[in-house]
Amino acid sequence: MKDPNCIFCKIIDGEIPSYKIIETERTFSFLDINPIAEGHSLVIPKHHAQKLHEVPDEYLSEILVVAKQIASKLGVANYNLLQNNGRLAHQEVDHVHFHLIPKTSEEDGLNYRFKPLSKEHVDLEKVHKKLV
């Protein structure tokens, strides 16, 4: 499935140029145009969907394999795999994409800290019941 207005669908079709890395039957990968670290890459399914849960399984199954291959090619010891869903979660391009971001220093790459919720805001029993 393609969206004619989607910038990443256009990259898959070659309508917009990209620094292509690996292309498979159901995935495409290329360098991020505004890298936050050298080698910052994107892996996308060849199926247009905004969010991860909307992508058919067969389009997702190759993504981690490709991310692994890119990580090996880059030869970096430290890196993050990031996938944003929705504006609040910092998604800017509405075609599912996985960032592979090398972490070569404290400054470059992904900078974040987990900030755990306070104990009174956490009900693990309740959430767990919803998930099983």
Least distance from ligand AMP to the Cβ atom of residue 95, Å = 9
* Residue placing its CB nearer to ligand AMP in the complex, 15 or 58: 15
Burial of 107 (0-12, 13-18, 19+ CB in 10 A): exposed
Closest CA to 68 of 24, 111, 104: 24
Q: Does 104 bind ligand AMP (CB under 6 A)?
A: no
Closest CA to 81 of 53, 102, 52: 102
* Residue placing its CB nearer to ligand AMP in the complex, 50 or 127: 50
Residue with tokens 């670290």: 37
Q: Does 90 bind ligand AMP (CB under 6 A)?
A: yes
Burial of 116 (0-12, 13-18, 19+ CB in 10 A): exposed
Q: Does 7 bind ligand AMP (CB under 6 A)?
A: yes
Is 97 catalytic? The answer is yes
Per-residue binding string, ligand AMP, 31-70, x by CB under 6 A, is -xxx-------x----------------------------
Residue 38 near residue 79, CB atoms below 8 Å: no
Least distance from ligand AMP to the Cβ atom of residue 34, Å = 4
Where on the chain is the footprint of ligand AMP (CB under 6 A)?
Answer: 7, 16, 18, 30, 32-34, 42, 84, 90-93
